[in-house]
Copies of this chain bind each other. A is one copy, B any other.
């Protein structure tokens, strides 16, 4: 059990209420939870014996939630860049996956992703990939919170033979680990163009039965929409609506090519959208209408997507990108202000995952997933508004401390778990293996 702590930062940015910045405020942590957010002057008296952590130049924020990634793809970071989507997938990513993806690949790749995400202030990630049991193992070794997707796709892989096999394997994991404090589960049908109506119907039924979110890529590219019209007579979101998938449990990733009535439909059904701005730019998918989605009441979260199409698992980058890009897309410099981007990266992710009663803000009673960000030095001075600085100025390199359920995972920028010692050499082996394929190709 971790220590009881009194964290005393320069600023507490609790995210709820949105835009709040608290000074002279301490956060008491006990048994992995936030026990109180209270005036520093009263803290030591009310919580004697708690270990005090003074962070005089820091903002304390809720842990960042990466609401869409394929963590294991970190091993393919920069394997193939600057090429059209289908060539990238068909000539590089898919062949590499067919040849190399195994439980060990997923374990090592996810561990690498966890190391990167933890050092960058991400405390929770929503994963979609083959062999989720290996990602689960990595997350637990790293001490990270994870939502694991029971992936569903029509194509066989080294992991599973058919949609039923995928579902069975993914959900068995949930049966086994459903009670683990760091874990939650989604059903993750890959995308409208890789999943049949029959499979979607099963997903819809099971998600309702088990009360788990449904995590899928949707309306990412124009081509996806065109193909859906050709094959199903309707655009993907309308197809999903008919199949019963629209609702508060839907985590719609990307939502780049959405029309005004589709935006209204997502809002009306209480869906969440995971905006992945770097990935949408890098693959030339387009510009998601984030300001319009927010205005329609859609819960917006942020994700990095996999490292092969980003090439960083860096939620600070996605916050900045989301806030900047939305302004030019909406032609309004006031669109998606800094606090809205921070909310999307924290509470927005928690709502999407159905975890907002547990994480996403610095609120007494929630789990102590906390991140300290150091806001001094020539890159960050002067500081008129810490929330503006968190989004527009700070980078992941300014993260000094990370706690997950009250357990320190990063202290002064250093990863604490012993799991990391042999990671470098294992990643090097994978790099050599995958490089060989690049040469062969």
Which residues of A does B touch, CB under 8 Å?
75, 77-79, 81-85, 88, 112, 115-116, 119-120, 278, 280-287, 310-312, 314, 323-325, 327-328, 330-335, 337-338, 376, 378-379, 381-385, 388-389, 392-393, 395-397, 420, 423-424, 427-428, 430-431, 434-435, 438
Contact status of A278 and B431, CB under 8 A, knowing A78-B385, A310-B392, A388-B81 = no
Residue pair B282, A392 in contact (C-beta under 8 Å): yes
Point out the residues of chain B lying under 8 angstroms from A420, CB to CB. Answer: 378
Q: How far is the CA of A388 from the CA of B80 in the complex (A)?
A: 9
Partner of A82, one of B115, B338, B396: B338
Q: How far is the CA of A372 from the CA of B83 in the complex (A)?
A: 28
Q: How far is the CA of A334 from the CA of B119 in the complex (A)?
A: 31
A281 to chain B: closest residue by CB: B324
Residue pair A284, B431 in contact (C-beta under 8 Å): no
Contact status of A85 and B393, CB under 8 A, knowing A78-B388, A119-B378, A379-B119 = no
Q: What is the copy number of this chain in the assembly? A: 2
Point out the residues of chain B lying under 8 angstroms from A438, CB to CB. Answer: 384
Residue pair B424, A381 in contact (C-beta under 8 Å): yes
Contact status of A75 and B382, CB under 8 A, knowing A312-B392, A338-B81, A392-B311 = yes
Contact status of A83 and B324, CB under 8 A, knowing A381-B427, A382-B430, A424-B381 = no
Q: How far is the CA of A280 from the CA of B310 in the complex (A)?
A: 21
Partner of A324, one of B278, B337, B385: B278
Residue pair A333, B85 in contact (C-beta under 8 Å): yes
Contact status of A384 and B78, CB under 8 A, knowing A287-B328, A327-B282, A397-B397 = yes
Q: How far is the CA of A309 from the CA of B316 in the complex (A)?
A: 18
28 sampled A-B residue pairs with Cβ under 8 A: A75-B382, A81-B337, A81-B338, A82-B323, A82-B334, A82-B337, A82-B388, A88-B333, A112-B378, A116-B378, A120-B379, A282-B324, A283-B327, A283-B333, A285-B328, A286-B328, A287-B328, A312-B379, A312-B392, A314-B379, A381-B424, A381-B427, A382-B427, A382-B428, A382-B431, A383-B431, A384-B431, A395-B395
Residue pair A78, B393 in contact (C-beta under 8 Å): yes
A438 to chain B: closest residue by CB: B384
Residue pair A382, B77 in contact (C-beta under 8 Å): yes
Point out the residues of chain B lying under 8 angstroms from A333, CB to CB. Answer: 82-85, 88, 282-284
Q: How far is the CA of A397 from the CA of B384 in the complex (A)?
A: 23
Point out the residues of chain B lying under 8 angstroms from A77, CB to CB. Answer: 381-382, 384, 393
Q: How far is the CA of A355 from the CA of B435 in the complex (A)?
A: 38
Residue pair B327, A281 in contact (C-beta under 8 Å): yes
Q: How far is the CA of A105 from the CA of B424 in the complex (A)?
A: 47
Point out the residues of chain B lying under 8 angstroms from A335, CB to CB. Answer: 284
Min CB gap A141→B, angstroms: 14
Residue pair A384, B119 in contact (C-beta under 8 Å): no
Please name the 3 residue pairs, one residue from A and one from B, whose CB atoms are nearest each other, closest first: A382-B431, A115-B378, A82-B337
Q: How far is the CA of A312 from the CA of B381 in the complex (A)?
A: 10
A386 to chain B: closest residue by CB: B78
Point out the residues of chain B lying under 8 angstroms from A281, CB to CB. Answer: 324-325, 327-328
A431 to chain B: closest residue by CB: B382
Contact status of A311 and B278, CB under 8 A, knowing A327-B284, A333-B88 = no
